[in-house]
A = this chain, B = another copy of it.
Amino acid sequence: MNEEREDRAVYIISVAAELAGMHPQTLRIYERKGLVRPARTSGNTRRYSDRDIERLRMIQQLTQEEGINLAGVRMIVELERQIEQMRAEVERMHRDLARARQARRRADAASHEVGLVPMRSLEEMFPWMRER
């Protein structure tokens, strides 16, 4: 399912409630508390997207199975957003580090090719130093 499709607001409240396994009135309460923000038609009728449904299911998991109230759900959603962001940051830095190390290796290899004395690390020159 692509992003455009996930964000398309297609379900009226009764369908969304059925998909999420909830009472329609519960969905209205969640909107008032700012937990879900469905789109509205020109006639002021709510329209839910697949992303909204996914969010509703997450809320249901937290409230029903974990017994967490809505104030808790709100903060947990925010914290998980932060965690997701940091996970991406770690991922990015892993790539940067790998790239930096590869650049180093290429530079050393290039030195060899033009017949120069390679820059070696202490460990390369004195292998026995590795143990400590």
Contacts and interface: CB of A to CB of B under 8 A. Distances in A.
Contacts of A68: 68-69, 71-72, 75
Interface stretch (A14-22, A38-46, A48-56, A95-103): A95-103
Interface in A55-70: 62, 66-69
Q: How large is the interface on A (under 10, 10 to 19, 20 to 34, 35 or more residues)?
A: 20 to 34
Nearest to A89: B90
A66 B71 contact: yes
Q: Chain A at the B interface: mostly helix, strand, loop or mixed?
A: helix
Interface string A76-120: 100110110011011001101100110110011011001011010
Nearest to A65: B71
Among A69, A75, A80, A82, find the residue whose CB has the most chain B CB atoms closer than 10 A: A75
A73 interface: yes
B72 A79 contact: no
A74 B68 CA distance: 9
Contacts of A62: 75
A101 B20 CA distance: 50
Contact of A86 (B83, B97, B114): B83
Nearest to A79: B79
A111 B117 CA distance: 8
Contacts of A96: 97
